A and B are shown apart, each in its own frame.
Chain A
Amino acid sequence: MTLRPSHLNDLEAESIYILREVAAQGARPVLLYSIGKDSSALLHLARKAFFPARPPFPFLHIDTTWKFRDMITFRDATAKRLGLDLRLHTNPEGLRQGINPFDHGGAYTQIMKTDALKQALTEGKYDTAIGGARRDEERSRAKERIFSVRGPGHTWEPKRQRPELWHLYNGNLAPGETLRVFPLSNWTELDVWTYIQAEAIDVVPLYFAAVRPTVIREGQIIVIDDERMRFHPNERPVPRLVRFRSLGCYPLSAAVESEAGTVAEIVAEMRTTKMSERAGRLIDQEQGASMERKKREGYF
């Protein structure tokens, strides 16, 4: 094992404990796999938690059809290499109506992500969804429980959360309730990267700096991933040395200028960087409390 900061041992142990609790308590758990670095760490922890067995739950990816091509390639290769039970879901109604991030703005996120996720959870009759969200990502996340109960319709009521003491996670559900579980709650972005480094975990190449075709919009660097990109008048792709700190749908995730080409260089960059990782997520910036509203409606 690689030498690593010892606090990662504590965080790893806590996450493994949480994952095992889900498997032991949840009748039908599913792990929401979003292909990003947090999902990569989460997948690795799930493998460790149940070794030598495979994780005793399926993995679910909500495919908006607007993910970067590299993400899809990485997803399929990872699932094949590890023999994961990977399930995919796209909102069929949204697909039929041609909902896309260029024409439909906020409605796109609601229909292709939030609604699609609710559909997949309901159709799969999953009572527990494991996600890679961390408390340091955003203010309202800081107050969410590790075992977080959702009411009918997958809604979150911040004022009616269960007290969560010691490492006793109450996974019991009343009729109509479902559970979201966040094993990485107490990790920071830097913890995730140092863990990826220490454990030599594979991540999508988009996290590493490379020269990519870009345009600048509203002060954000947008990478052009395929021919569906729509250009404004007089807009031309410009090659820039960039990487991603956070991955979502390609026209909505902004890149940052960076020379970090390896995990070690990313960790070094993290220790000096002064922008938050969600700064690149266009949907989160509308208003200070936009994430809390989305979560109440069922956004992950």
Chain B
Amino acid sequence: MPESLLRVLTCGSVDDGKSTLIGRLLFECGSIPDDVMLALERDSIRFGTVEGGVDYALLVDGLEAEREQGVTIDVAYRFFETPRRRFILADTPGHQQYTRNMATGASTADLAILLVDARNGLLDQTRRHAAIASLLGIRAVVLAINKMDLVGFDKTVFDGIVAGFDQLRSRLGDLSVTAIPICARDGDNVTGSSARMPWYTGTTLLAALENAEPASRTNGNKFRFPVQYVSRPDQSFRGYAGTVSSGTIRVGDKLNNVASRTKAKVARIVTMDGDLETAASGRPVTLVLDREIDVSRGDVLAADPSPTVADQINAWVVWMDETPLFRGRAYQFMLGTKMVTGTITDITNRLDIDTLREVGVRELHLNEIGRVAISLSHPVVCEPYSQSRELGGFILVDRLTMGTVGAGMITDVRAGRTNVYWHQMDVSKQARAALNRQKPAVLWFTGLSGAGKSTIANVVEKQLLAQGHHTMTLDGDNVRHGLNRDLGFTEADRVENIRRIAEVAKLFVEAGLIVLVSFISPYRNERVLARESVEDGEFVEIFVDTPVEECSRRDPKGLYQKAYAGQLRNFTGVDAPYEEPLNPEIRLRTLEASPEELAAQVIEDLRDRGVIA
């Protein structure tokens, strides 16, 4: 019976014979049932690439689309076991555009098999794979040099590749490497030794996997317990469900709820198999404490010394989305069981995977890896990734598509705002607004250039003023003359532009004013950011809906003419996108009414919302 579980990442490029190797391992370990073998023989004739033989690659190239194209396009998980061990293989594609899949597979792996085609030696691909594996914390690598039959089983070829990898290793940090010459198609040195390579006396691939040390849970003996779920079936029971991420806990031990700096002792360690006296890392349990302290999902219970609580972090981020990562963008930030909003405050360097050198950049594109600074909406208990995969690895989630767009590894937590405290003032926003007999609000006019935003906002403000209300207008163009004059029109600068405007609007709201913002603001993401910077109900998104044809006909500043002539780049509606609001509070169709009528519509709406009386 298997004694332990080992998670293995396999990586190599399309032609290295990776699928063949995995198919071979599964076959040799008896994981292929007879009927599947029959289907394989049938498929080998139809799709196979091995002349007159069984193509083991077809066992693992799962999706129909990939089998027809003859490449693997996603992460696949395979299982097999030997009498000593149960294995989970994460099989990831090698070609460049799928770096994100490799990072996915590497995130849980104990060991990586790097496959090299003996004929080609070390490719950029191999360097890239080694770098990603190392970055994601894999410390054991098997360098499987395949297709030795095609280089005449030549020892010097093998030695040359091993020497090349040794040079690379010095730049990857602490990495233990086992190099094995194999021929996956025929099985040499995969599960049994090879008569054709008598010069190689080392271990077979399977033996290397069986003997590898599982990646030790880092963090040593420090007890860490991220609370996953608060269990309250009735009045008499309150427990905190979670998995011990490191260390050991005993009944009677003192614990800190790190974020709230409260303390309690463990009263019970509950499982369905009965209460436990002690629980070690990896064990799912429910903890009952000896006194009521405030604990909720996302909190971390820890023994001394407690981990840090930070709202500013630096991290390596693997970017996984078609839309690039810019400074100023905000995402949902998931770490452990905690979810907060994370705003990108800086992007400094990109890691050039081929040279392993860092290059200065301001944005990250799909499959790039870079150094990023993130500011969090709430403090989070976290640790450097090198100390804890559980409290140091995070994902970024797009707030509109809800897709996972980035994965990060914390390099260091910064004191940053941790030492800048929010000063609680006695005079509140409500008090200031009450004096003005109005509710503070942001009227956010968005739409194309020339849509009529400023014209309508101007009429609205005059009417508000006439009725005795206190207002302030922020105009996109005007702000660029002062506060934002250091910013251009690239996507990254637009994001920063809007962040600053949202912050200024927020200050005016604090002052109790009705703030009119007239601003193209083409991206939904940034408008969401602006909306979230004020309280619920304070943000009124007003979509000034004018078709681009009409805007370019009006062209009050002659900008469309320049953009169409190619003299102006990144112009919204021409060569840069405008993402229409999906659910604006107010939609103004300018083709159907005059600015005065539309302004009246806004005033009416503000009355309905109770912003003005």
Which A residues form the contact surface with B (CB < 8 A)? 1, 5-7, 9-13, 16-17, 20-21, 23-24, 47-54, 135-136, 139-140, 142-143, 158-159, 161-168, 170, 172-174, 177, 185-186, 188, 190-191, 194, 273-276, 279, 288-289, 292-293
Contacts and interface: CB of A to CB of B under 8 A. Distances in A.
Nearest to B36: A276
Given A139-B62, A177-B402, A163 B320 contact: yes
B515 to A, nearest CB: 29
A114 B63 CA distance: 20
The 8 closest A-B pairs by CB, nearest first: A53-B233, A139-B62, A289-B64, A276-B33, A51-B272, A165-B107, A172-B402, A7-B5
Contact of B272 (A47, A168, A186): A47
B400 A174 contact: yes
Given A6-B3, A51-B272, A273-B33, A186 B334 contact: no
Nearest to B237: A52
Interface of B: 1-5, 33-36, 39, 43, 59-65, 67, 73-79, 81, 85-86, 88, 100-101, 103-104, 107-108, 228-229, 231-233, 237, 239, 241-243, 270-273, 282-284, 286, 297, 320, 332, 334-335, 337, 389-390, 393-395, 397, 400-404, 407
Contacts of A6: 3-5
Contacts of B239: 52
Contacts of B108: 165-167
Nearest to A22: B229
Contacts of B270: 51-52
A163 B271 contact: no
Contact of B233 (A52, A194, A273): A52
Nearest to B332: A172
Given A20-B229, A53-B233, A275-B34, A292 B74 contact: no
Given A13-B243, A185-B77, A288-B39, A170 B404 contact: yes
Given A49-B241, A163-B101, A174-B400, A13 B282 contact: yes
A174 B393 contact: no
Nearest to A296: B64
A170 to B, nearest CB: 5
Contact of B390 (A7, A13, A166, A279): A166
Given A5-B1, A51-B286, 19 more contacts: A5-B3, A7-B3, A7-B5, A11-B5, A13-B243, A24-B337, A48-B271, A50-B241, A52-B233, A53-B233, A135-B78, A143-B63, A163-B104, A163-B395, A166-B389, A167-B390, A191-B86, A274-B33, A288-B43
Contacts of A275: 33-35
A166 B270 CA distance: 26
B297 A292 contact: no
Given A17-B243, A170-B395, A7 B86 contact: yes
Contacts of A135: 77-79
A145 B286 CA distance: 27
Contacts of B393: 165-166, 168
Nearest to A187: B79
A190 B297 CA distance: 34
A125 to B, nearest CB: 18
A142 B3 contact: no
A161 B334 contact: no
Nearest to B231: A53
A59 B232 CA distance: 20
A50 B232 CA distance: 10
A7 B4 contact: yes
A139 B5 CA distance: 22
Contacts of A165: 103-104, 107-108, 393, 395, 404, 407
A289 B286 CA distance: 43
Nearest to B3: A6
B88 A186 contact: yes
Contact of A143 (B5, B74, B237, B390): B74
B5 A158 contact: no
Nearest to B59: A139
Contacts of B286: 51-52
Contacts of B62: 139-140, 142-143, 292
B282 A10 contact: yes
